[in-house]
């Protein structure tokens, strides 16, 4: 087994539908620009309220990606 080196990027995903969709949006969008994504960790969950109803979900994530050797 070889040792790997990772970096961490912080991102915020949003969705009108759900927390899971906000996570998916963040990961899939980041994957277009960052190679070798291996893991994510949810750090915060927030939302936006409009007219007494949930309008948006916001999820702060840390994304781990491997440096190429």
Instruction: Give the residue numbers spanning the domain of 29.
Output: 6-66
Confidence of residue 3 (pLDDT cuts 50, 70, 90): confident
Residue 46 within any structural domain of the chain: yes
Q: Does residue 1 lie within any of the structural domains?
A: no
Q: Is residue 18 part of a domain?
A: yes
Using the Cα atoms of residue 9, residue 37, residue 44 and residue 19 in order, give the sign of their dihedral: positive
> Helix, strand, or coil here: 3?
coil
Instruction: State residue 60 phi and psi, 5-degree precision.
Output: -90, 130
The pLDDT value recorded for residue 69 is 79
Whichever domain contains 40, its CATH number is 3.30.1660.10
Predicted TM-score (pTM) of this structure: 0.87
Q: Count structural domains, the chain.
A: 1
Helix (H, G, I), strand (E, B) or coil at 36: coil
pLDDT digits (tens, 9 = 90+) for 10-54: 999 999 999 999 999 999 999 999 999 999 999 999 999 999 999
């Amino acid at each position: 087994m070889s040792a790997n080196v990772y970096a961490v990027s912080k991102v915020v995903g949003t969705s009108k539908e759900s927390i899971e969709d906000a996570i998916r949006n963040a990961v899939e969008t980041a994957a277009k620009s960052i190679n070798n994504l291996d893991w994510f960790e949810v750090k915060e969950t927030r939302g936006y309220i409009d007219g007494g109803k949930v309008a948006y979900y916001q999820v702060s994530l840390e994304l781990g990606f491997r440096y190429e050797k």
